[in-house]
Structure formats: C-alpha cells, structure tokens
C-alpha cells in the first residue's frame, strides 16, 4: 500500500492518503479545504487516481474538501451512514468492510466526540479521527458529544485492538504524528493507565474549553460535505476555498 | 509479518520480535537478559522458532541475552561485523541485506552513540537502536561516541528515509513507543527543525550526564554476547541471568 500522512497547518489536521498499488486508486481520509490542491497534487504525483474521500465525522474545526475533490477529481464521498447526509455517495457502517482494491477498511463506530464519529481500521493501522489523539482525545462538549460514550469507544473498541496497532489521529498540535494502542493504553493522561470511567468523565468536565472558533460555519458546511455556508464572514471565506466553485454534492 | 514490541523495564529497553509467517522463524532485535524467558515464551506462543538475535550495538546499560538464547533456543547471533566479536555467528554489514524468509533487513551503519552502531531498516520501519530516540538520541560520551558522527548518521542516513518510515527506538523512558522520520525531523529537540551540526554538538557537550551505572560490567559482558563478566558485584548478578549457565559463545 502507498501511504502518506499529510498535514494541514491551519487546523493542525492530518489527512491520510491510502493508495492501492494494483488498481492505482487512492482514498483520502479527512481531507481539508485549504489543502485540497496540494492533496490532489500528491495523489497525482504518485501516479494515483483519487477514488474516494472518507470523513471520520462532521468536523467543527475545519471544512472537509470532500465535495471540492468530487467536483475537481470525480472522487466519491464516503462517510458515516448515521449522519444521513444527502451528499454522501457511500454510506459507511460498522460491520460493513469498505474495500478498494487490496485496501480493506473496517469502520468502527466510536461516538463521544460526536455522536456519529467513526474510526477506520486498516490492518495494523487505525485512523482514530478525533476520538483518540496522541496523549489526548477529542472534546465532548458539543455536537452531541458524550464523555461516557467516548470512554467506552476508546476502551472497548480502540484499546482492544492489538497493542502494536499504530494510532494515526486526525490532529496533533505539537507535531507528533503516530502512536500505538499500547502507548495510549499506558500513558494517555486522560484515560491511559486503567483510569476509570468516573475519572475520565471528571477530567472531561473540568476542561472548560473555549467555544470553537469555526463551529458555526464548519458544521453546516460539513453537513453539505464541505460547501461554504451562506453568510460566512469575509475573513473566513478563505477556509472555504473558492465558494463560487462549491459543488452541490 | 508478525511483529511485537516487547518492553524490559529495568533498562527501559524495547526488544522487537519479527516473525516470518511462511517459515515460522523469528528474529529478536536487542533482546535483554532479564527478559530472555519472557521473550522466548512470546516467540513460542506465536508458534515461531527463534532463528536469530540481532543487536544494534554493544550496549552499556544492559546485557544482551543473545548467548543465553543461543544456548536455550539454538538461535544464531547476528551483530555488527565491525565489532569483530568472536561470539558473533552472522556478521552484519551495511549494503549486505540480512534475510530470513520474507523478512528483509537493510543494515545501516549509524555511528555516534558507539562507533560501530547499526540501525536496521525493514520496509516502512526502522529500528534505530540508541542512535535516534523519540524526541532524543543516544549519548555520545563513551565507547568512542562522537556527536559529529551521530549528527551525520541521523541527518544523512535516518532523516533521508521516507517521511512515513516508523521509528522504533531501543529505549524510551516515558512510555512512548513509536515515532516517524517526519516527526523526528520536525520536533526532535536535539536535531529536528534543521538544527546545525554546531548546535547539535553544543547540545551534546552540555548534557553533563552521570557515569553509566552498569557500563563496567555491561560492555565486557556484551563483548562476549551477553556473558556475565567475572567479578561482577552480587547485587548486579541478577541482571546476568544464571551466570553458571552463561555460554562461551
């Protein structure tokens, strides 16, 4: 498999490129609007054709470039079926393997950061989205977030994967790029070292995080698979790419 | 490939188990004396036969279990040819691929921590020994260590591997288990972020580290592939395993 970990610095997002060496088709997991051109260039420079974009959840911190890439490269939009977005071409469900050539992805419903959040397991790697981060986890105070649900998602679905499974998160704000299930089980300060549900819930409730800067445009925009929502302030429009080009999905 | 990252807590060493699914043969990289039985049990529980032990260098902080495992499991001892140890069965050289079934290891001479230190590249993984650690590197103040040589080993041999190459170090003292070439290039505080040779050498010279606790027995012991050297104080003999069982190599 061809594998690239691409970084988008505005929202500190990792976009993952998976390429099948036989079919020369590619998937981008969590592609982000400001870097859609860079991402497509990387796909093409590797001699691949973008077949799918695959989002882990409806992001609050950036706009997905799923629709943009569909429009520009003809890729199909894959994402959690539970979101029931009319713009989704391939609805993803747990227990239903998503396959592209030799690439086989097992979707894991991992609610808690958002209610419909998914992680994607691919052999010895797991793309954990905003559920499990390196030494951290996604916040649980909006979009039907639920600390108790996140605890169960992580401890019952992610921490039960083999110890050596590589953890590739959707974000890191300190330049870290990879961890493993064993590492997070041992040293994740929020729920590693066998922290109890009660300890985790207390930690999450005490975070007192600021209201997310982009949530009011990002969530409606991402519910349209990455269209820039009407009424967005001019200084934020750069995050949408070229709005006039926005697809209908 | 079957892959396990095993931890030895006394010296905070990671021992890596590589198993070939076709031949059912296994390699242990940097196995450590106090955990030789555990390591062998893991090999056997996976239905594998230990064929080789492979050390990255002559360790100063622990005793290799190479000879012990040879004695108990019939494995062959592989290690840097430059060390010219009479107990080495398979002398390792850069440019000479080490192969066991479908497992292909490319040895990289990476001097600096010790003069004859090797890293081992295996596809998308590199086992960096004590040359490159997560957010750190091996010390360079004994065993012909050389900060300038280490800088060149890391920047010219390890940092030129593809960004996504997974870095598996021989030690971590904070529970971290894996990094990547891109991560270390960006955020390694000693030589990431394009630090110059001069900056790195200054950092290494200012470390003022204590004299290593076990070096006086570990180095001669490891020059005999893990025999407990004569005259070792009683309280340290536990680190040697059963001395009376020590092989002649």
Q: If one looks up domain A110-209 in CATH, what number appears?
A: 3.60.15.10
- CATH 3.60.15.10 maps onto chain A at 1-103+215-244, 110-209
Q: Looking at residue B239, what is its pLDDT?
A: 60
User: What superfamily does domain A1-103+215-244 belong to in CATH?
Assistant: Ribonuclease Z/Hydroxyacylglutathione hydrolase-like (3.60.15.10)
Burial category of B178 from C-beta neighbours within 10 Å (exposed 0-12, middle 13-18, buried 19 and up): buried
Residue range A13-21: mean pLDDT, rounded: 98
Predicted complex ipTM? 0.91
CA–CA dist B20, B157 (Å, integer): 26
Instruction: Encode pLDDT of A80-133 as tens digits.
Output: 999 999 999 999 999 999 999 999 999 999 999 999 999 999 999 999 999 999
Residue of B nearest to A178 (CA): B179
CB contact under 8 Å between A179 and B175, yes or no, is no
CA–CA dist B114, B153 (Å, integer): 11
Confirm whether pTM is higher than 0.95: no
Instruction: Encode pLDDT of B182-219 as tens digits.
Output: 999 999 999 999 999 999 999 999 998 988 878 888 89
A20 min Cα distance to partner chain B (Å):
16
Q: CATH top-level class for B1-109+213-249?
A: alpha beta
Angle B10-A181-A207 from CA coordinates, rounded to 5°: 100
User: Which candidate in A178, A180, A181, A186 is best for mutational testing of the B interface (most B CBs within 10 A)?
Assistant: A178
Beta-carbon contacts below 8 Å between A and B: 48
Structure tokens at B2: 């079957």
The confidence band for A235, taking pLDDT boundaries of 50, 70 and 90, is confident
- CATH 3.60.15.10 maps onto chain B at 1-109+213-249, 121-209
Name the DSSP letter for residue B173: S
A188 min Cα distance to partner chain B (Å):
10
Q: Which fold has domain B121-209?
A: Metallo-beta-lactamase; Chain A (3.60.15)
**Do you know the residue count of chain A?**
249
With beta carbons less than 8 A apart as the criterion, state whether A46 and A12 touch: no
Structure tokens at B65: 């279990």
Instruction: Encode pLDDT of B132-158 as tens digits.
Output: 999 999 999 988 999 999 999 999 999
Q: Which residue has the higher pLDDT, A159 or B211?
A: A159
Position A242 pLDDT exceeds 60 = no
Residue range B100-113: mean pLDDT, rounded: 98
DSSP A115-155: TT-EEEEETTEEEEETTEETTEE---SSTT--HHHHHHIII
Q: Which of B58, B57, B4 is nearest to B27 (CA)?
A: B4
């Amino acid at each position: 498999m061809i594998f690239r970990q691409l970084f988008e610095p505005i929202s500190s997002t990792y976009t993952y490129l998976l390429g099948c060496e036989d079919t020369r088709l590619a998937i981008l997991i969590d592609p982000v609007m400001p870097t859609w051109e860079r991402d497509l260039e990387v796909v093409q420079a590797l001699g691949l054709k973008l077949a799918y974009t695959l989002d882990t959840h409806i992001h609050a911190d950036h706009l997905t470039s799923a629709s943009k890439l569909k429009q520009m490269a003809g890729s199909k939009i894959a994402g959690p079926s539970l979101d029931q977005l009319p713009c989704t071409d391939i609805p993803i469900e747990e227990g239903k393997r998503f396959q592209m050539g030799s690439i086989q992805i097992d979707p894991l419903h991992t609610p808690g950061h958002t209610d419909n959040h998914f992680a994607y397991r691919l052999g010895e790697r797991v793309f954990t989205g905003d559920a499990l981060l390196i030494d951290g986890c996604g916040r649980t105070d909006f979009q039907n977030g639920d600390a108790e649900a996140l605890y169960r998602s992580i401890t019952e679905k992610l921490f039960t994967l083999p110890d050596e499974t590589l953890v590739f998160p959707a974000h890191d704000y300190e330049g870290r790029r990879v961890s493993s299930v064993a590492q997070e089980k041992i040293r994740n300060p929020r729920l590693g070292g066998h922290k109890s549900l009660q300890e985790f819930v207390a930690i999450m409730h005490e975070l007192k995080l600021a209201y997310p800067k982009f949530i009011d445009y990002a969530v409606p925009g991402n519910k349209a698979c990455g269209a820039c929502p009407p009424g967005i302030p001019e200084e934020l429009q750069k995050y949408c790419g070229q709005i006039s080009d926005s697809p209908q999905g």
